[in-house]
Chains A and B, each alone.
Chain A
């Protein structure tokens, strides 16, 4: 009993401490000025958010643009907290049975070239994203399948009409790639102009891009959020290697890197710099999957696929891998921190998630024997990227070997890897991944559908499609949750179509003088930098 009281007292003290700490942090008055320098490990192909998919573009270019709505920068961990960026007031509730969204725009917003931003600009931007003319690319057109029309009753109102109600519309709208462009630019220069040119309405104005080296932005004095940004400017420095990025923070050549580091890097930085480093951590909306090729025997046999998932000890893997790799959380098909995600008890009912790994492996051995492939031999196809592919891949192979399987690993550089996974489809079992920006479970779980364009397992599964259609049409969260459990059980356990390894875990150690930035569950989010300030 006394132990319980002690624990309670400790929790109370820690809770009070945290609350005080948080309120103290909140009470800090942001300082104006300074230039934030951060490293970006990757090259951006172009500046056009509507066609690009990489964080390397977002980290450099996002501060130049505004969105219609965005993930709440003060609460980015909450997957359902969206706030207006260019729109005025709160994010509107739908009308007409969930099929109409009317947004009022803030008045007085200007593009960096001085022209006013109106609903015509927002419409032109979303027309380019949702209804691109023939020959014009749009990477996120499929996110907006429900949108039937966009209209502008007046210069400060924009209306999205949906063909059917869907909970995935607002998260899709908040996707950080949905930059609002000037209609005049699109009309005058065409749809390719934004690949090489920037004219946004974001917190910073474009100054210079020295390709392969850095990109700089300077404070936009006409920014529509009054009093923001706090910084005078920023410099996004291209850093080729993770080791270099870590040393750059240590040597104070950069304050941060916003993608994420492995645990060892965090520990090294904290050890070297103590309280000069602040660490923010979060579950990450990315997951590595094992994809058995259903067209190749014996992976067309459910028992073999079940044996593969049964052989993996996710619970102990989480414990040990989280010390060396950017993975941690055991989860099902939905991002672990979301209300629609499975609880631990629910997960434990699925094959491969049980608490007794010996029993699971015994069952796997039995299933392989029944399928006529005892001591199954196959090649695991992996991508030549250390974090976390090669580490997780090597771990998975070790897990299968413990179940009596003989597994080789074939590691390919990215272009060859994708060619094999997507085009040739000559793999036995391949690593694949699902990585999204805004958490949108109903859209994210389509990865498991045989009909999904980004599913490379080569299978058809009508019962799974039927469950998904019910999820799509359900307006009730409790019912959605129940249906998602059915979907999860069918995809991961009963049919074992794909295997989830571990969800990624985002670790962002940064210089403590960089303040205001809050970690989000995605490296694509919260990169507008209008709330970041330097305590120097």
Chain B
């Protein structure tokens, strides 16, 4: 097992290097640069000499391979560089937003699990009954409905509903306060994006739970368990569900990794100052330094989640052996 883990960890390096090469060179294929946007993006005239000066300051005048080497050297020296837009250290910019994104991702995952696992089980156990149809309809609606659209509906619903009831419209806070600073504020802001994204996320997981459980319920060992007179609850919980959860865990882990960098639109809808929004802003401003470090962070999260899931498989299914 230890050998396997070391091997997997070693494989991370070429994956990350490949991602670094791709993101660095692909970003530079896009026309325009951060200095043009910064000094003349509002349409005002910018002296070409000023733009050149800005490029020099940011090191954009250097040959591309020198810039690439500096980018890689940053990992060796644990210096991710500075944002080309704000001039602040990238680690600072990311750490400001990381806990918000992490909290939304965790809350969305909790919402998704709370909905998906019971609904998926009920739907499988009560296959082709009206309960199954309602659950399937509910989950298909979740897949079909973009979470940002649901987010907009939630905000509008809150505004209109509270105005109707209390006379003054209310909407969730639009600035973040950590949960240890103001838990009520924090939850009243983040519960809505967690519900909006968690619902879509749960829809995928519900369907996966249902189909995986249906498959397992047809297995011989389940029939044997029934034949020896085990209670249905025990059969489902102890024998079927654990095996059926393997694909569900995969889906949940991939979705979690996706939430860490992919909540681009939902973060904008709820004005969350998270990593997704930072991603959009840095791409829009052609802040290469920030964009490439964010991409690398997301790659790292995906790789680590896959690694984590592999380990989890072993716990869920003891037949899996690593060699």
Contact = CB atoms under 8 A, between A and B. Distances in A.
Contacts of B156: 247
A239 interface: yes
B202 interface: no
B45 interface: yes
Interface in A415-438: 415-416, 418-420, 422-424, 432-436
A401 interface: no
A244 B44 CA distance: 27
Contact of A418 (B37, B97, B173): B37
A43 B281 contact: yes
Contacts of B37: 414-415, 418
A419 B32 contact: yes
Interface stretch (B3-11, B120-128, B245-253, B270-278): B270-278
B31 A420 contact: yes
A433 B40 CA distance: 11
A139 B267 CA distance: 33
B159 A210 contact: no
Nearest to A241: B268
A250 B286 contact: no
Nearest to A454: B45
Interface residues of A, number: 58
Interface stretch (B162-170, B193-201, B223-231): B162-170
A135 interface: yes
Nearest to B170: A251
B213 to A, nearest CB: 40
A478 interface: no
Contacts of A418: 32, 36-37, 40-41
B268 A416 contact: no
Given A142-B47, A418-B36, A420-B31, A250 B175 contact: no
B171 interface: yes
A135 B171 contact: no
Interface string B255-270: 0000000000001111
A453 B47 contact: yes
Most buried by A among B158, B174, B280: B174
A243 to B, nearest CB: 7
B41 A244 contact: no
Interface stretch (B48-56, B134-142, B214-222, B234-242): B48-56
A211 B271 CA distance: 13
Contacts of A419: 31-32, 36
A212 B276 CA distance: 12
Interface string A30-69: 0000000001000101100001111100000000000000
A138 interface: yes
A254 interface: yes
B42 A212 contact: no
Contacts of A432: 43
B12 to A, nearest CB: 29
A358 interface: no
Contacts of A43: 85-86, 281, 285
A324 interface: no
A212 B97 contact: yes
Contacts of A213: 96, 175-176, 273
B86 to A, nearest CB: 6
Given A248-B171, A418-B37, A435 B44 contact: yes
A135 B52 CA distance: 10
Contact of B174 (A137, A138, A253): A253
B39 interface: yes
B30 interface: yes
Contacts of A244: 174, 268-271
A45 B86 contact: yes
A195 B54 CA distance: 13
Given A239-B174, A435-B44, A454-B44, A251 B36 contact: no
Contacts of B38: 45, 52-53
